[in-house]
Structure 1
């Protein structure tokens, strides 16, 4: 069986040979691929636990795993393909996961050993998406929401605005960036006029 992922799903060129089963911190119970993806000051997520818990519910391919983690963490944690696919490969090496081709996509499901492992370690696996979400305080979450709204508005102007509107929006974004740096430079002061 070809155990490599298709080029579009491999994740930043990291192949299976990069991680050995005997490497430091690997093996059943090890925390693999701790990474929260972009942004946030929350603690890093336990990719290995998240993958095991999600595919215990139903078989999934890598993109579905990423989507589920983003959704369950309230958008706070978005692991990269470069953390998901090595985690899947390691779990496959451990005999906890098997990768099958389903509808043209490499889809992971638990083996019998994997089902037993998840049942036995359910408390240890916890709820990694909740852990990451809870580690990000309310002000950071509010700022993320505002950033998302700003990006949405800028995207709308870029998509349907006239050249003059696009130029005006660019000026607003440039000024917003400068203002944010002034906030930091003023040691927490929000007076952007100085």
Structure 2
């Protein structure tokens, strides 16, 4: 098995007690909750210590534990599961067309050994929802765009593209104003 820090660099994360912030915050959320590098790994291991889960269940559990502020993408979870399996910390078994992920005895020992050094990956989630619901607004915009794309006329679709591009530009201008 790889040593602790080396394994984290392999997944694109750093040590579990990293001080820097992940640049994107993990996919969904208000933008105030920031996921520390290595937190997807820690969260995955901690959730699997509670019970075996499928990859989708892991993503859902992380979203639930953060009140919707954080949900890792499949592109973050499934390669991580494969790496944890390569490291001997989990096993996967086919169950109902899905792969059930279970901690191995080595995985349990790994958690027991390193848990005292890990920050709680879900700790900052409660404080993250103090501001406006940007996620909801973006979701609503996406839904309207999809509707126009599915049933709108060509002229409506072209007008929608102009509106969306202008909204994008306006959002970047808001950020630029804050940096002056």
Asked whether the two chains share a fold, i.e. TM above 0.5, the reply is yes
Tell me the equivalent position of 2:27: 38
How many Å separate the matches in 2 of 1:168 and 1:130? Answer: 43
In the alignment, structure 1 residue 77 sits paired with structure 2 residue 62? no
Q: 1:167 to 1:42 in 2, by over 3 A?
A: same
How many Å separate the matches in 1 of 2:168 and 2:135? Answer: 15
Gaps of 5+ in 2: 9-14
Q: CA RMSD in A?
A: 3.7
Alignment of 1:96-135 (within 5 A): 96-115=89-108, 127-131=120-124, 133-134=125-126
Q: 1:142 to 1:122 in 2, by over 3 A?
A: same
Q: 1:150 to 1:82 in 2, by over 3 A?
A: closer
1:19-71 CA distances to partner (integer Å, 9 max, x unpaired)? x61373449xx639x96433735332411221122223332222332233234
Tell me the equivalent position of 1:24: 5
- Matched length: 165
In the alignment, structure 1 residue 158 sits paired with structure 2 residue 149? yes
Gaps of 5+ in 1: 1-19, 190-194
Tell me the equivalent position of 1:176: 167
- The structural deviation recorded for 1:92 is 3.4
- The structural deviation recorded for 1:134 is 4.2
Q: Which deviates more from structure 2 when the two are superposed, residues 87-96 or residues 149-158?
A: 87-96
Q: Normalized against structure 1, the TM-score is what?
A: 0.62
Q: Normalized against structure 2, the TM-score is what?
A: 0.66
The structure with the larger Rg is 1
User: 2:66·2:122 contact (CA, 8 Å) conserved in 1?
Assistant: yes
User: 1:25·1:31 contact (CA, 8 Å) conserved in 2?
Assistant: no
